[in-house]
């Protein structure tokens, strides 16, 4: 089961910036009411996107340096990083759908890059993943474990 792990000034570089997966970082503080509202949504997303994204939480009272570096002026703020770069920001206690669309946007970018490189994994209409495998000048798609009809 995936969880939202804490990240601090000392672990920021290794956990967030050096991550091979995209990373969602929740900036919050224990006294923040809206942060307590959004955190359960982020926990749900961490379970849904386990293995595709990493999820971390920064306590801005304990790690103000990270918040200052990224210009965090309001909490909760969610930042999405990919390849060590900030790619998106969501400010405030927003609905889960807003967070999901931001995550999906970053995920699609990764899939488009893989497709350009000649490798990708997609989800078919039936919700089963299939892989696009380059064959000569054409692509052949198969469901994992069974042939696509």
CB neighbour list of residue 108: distance below 8 Å, 6 or more residues apart:
none
Q: Which two tokens stand for residue 143?
A: 């469901």
Given 16, 32, 45, 103, which residue is catalytic? 32
57 and 15 Cβ atoms separated by less than 8 Å: no
Given 4, 35, 41, 78, which residue is catalytic? 35
Each residue of 6-33: b (16+ CB within 10 Å) or e? ebeeeebeebbeebeebbbbbbbeeebe
Tell me whether residue 122 is one of the annotated catalytic residues: no
H or E element in which residue 37 lies: helix 33-48
| CA Rg value for the chain | 18
Tell me whether residue 35 is one of the annotated catalytic residues: yes
Cα distances (Å, whole numbers) of residue 86 to 16, 23, 25: 10, 9, 10
Q: Which residues are catalytic?
A: 32, 35
């Amino acid at each position: 089961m995936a969880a939202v792990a804490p990240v601090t000034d000392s672990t920021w570089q290794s956990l967030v910036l050096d991550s091979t997966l995209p990373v969602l970082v929740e900036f919050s503080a224990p006294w923040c009411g809206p942060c307590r509202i959004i955190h359960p949504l982020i926990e749900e997303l961490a379970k849904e996107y386990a293995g595709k994204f990493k999820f971390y939480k920064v306590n801005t009272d304990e790690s103000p340096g990270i918040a200052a570096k990224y210009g965090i002026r309001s909490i909760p703020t969610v930042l999405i990083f990919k390849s060590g770069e900030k790619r998106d920001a969501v400010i405030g206690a927003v609905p889960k759908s807003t967070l999901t669309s931001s995550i999906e946007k970053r995920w699609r970018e990764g899939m488009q890059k893989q497709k350009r490189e000649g490798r990708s994994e997609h989800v078919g209409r039936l919700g089963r993943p299939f892989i696009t495998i380059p064959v000569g000048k054409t692509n052949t798609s198969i469901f994992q474990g069974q042939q696509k009809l």
